[in-house]
């Protein structure tokens, strides 16, 4: 697999389209941190990881409201292996005029663009969620 983050985002997008309550993804540290950011921002309900003897599994509980609408309306990969996208502090994007988030990896770890602005950090833009 050349892009595990894109695979994770695609699995989430497909689970939302199929109205699934949970999605199971192969585990990695970066995917776990991205999932924790999504949970902290209120896009998913829960994150759990378990060992399966190989790589491990990451289980995400998707969040739906009373009308069965998902909290994630859209999710998009920004920086790809063939075209990496980096942003300085003053160039960090505002997703949907502040209604969404951009997740980026910095020297201090994986965080949203709001946290990166507060800490005056730039980094690689992983994805946008709204």
pLDDT in tens, 28-40: 999 999 999 999 9
pLDDT digits (tens, 9 = 90+) for 66-125: 999 999 999 999 999 999 999 999 999 999 999 999 999 999 999 999 999 999 999 999
In this predicted structure, what is the pLDDT of residue 1? 85
CA pair distance 104, 121, nearest whole angstrom: 10
The pTM of the whole model exceeds 0.85: yes
Size (the chain), residues: 130
Give the end-to-end CA distance of the chain in Å, rounded to a whole number: 26
């Amino acid at each position: 697999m050349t892009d595990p983050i894109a695979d994770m985002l695609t699995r989430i997008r497909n689970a939302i389209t199929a109205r699934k309550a949970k999605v199971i993804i192969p585990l990695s540290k970066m995917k776990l941190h991205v999932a924790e950011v999504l949970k902290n921002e209120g896009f998913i309900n829960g994150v759990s990881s378990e060992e399966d003897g190989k790589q491990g599994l990451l289980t995400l509980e998707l969040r739906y409201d009373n009308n069965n609408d998902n909290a994630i309306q859209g999710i998009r990969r920004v920086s790809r292996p063939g075209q990496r996208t980096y942003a300085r502090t003053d160039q960090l994007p505002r997703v949907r005029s502040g209604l969404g988030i951009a997740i980026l990896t910095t020297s201090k770890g994986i965080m949203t663009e709001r946290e990166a602005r507060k800490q005056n950090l730039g980094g690689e833009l992983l994805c946008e969620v709204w």
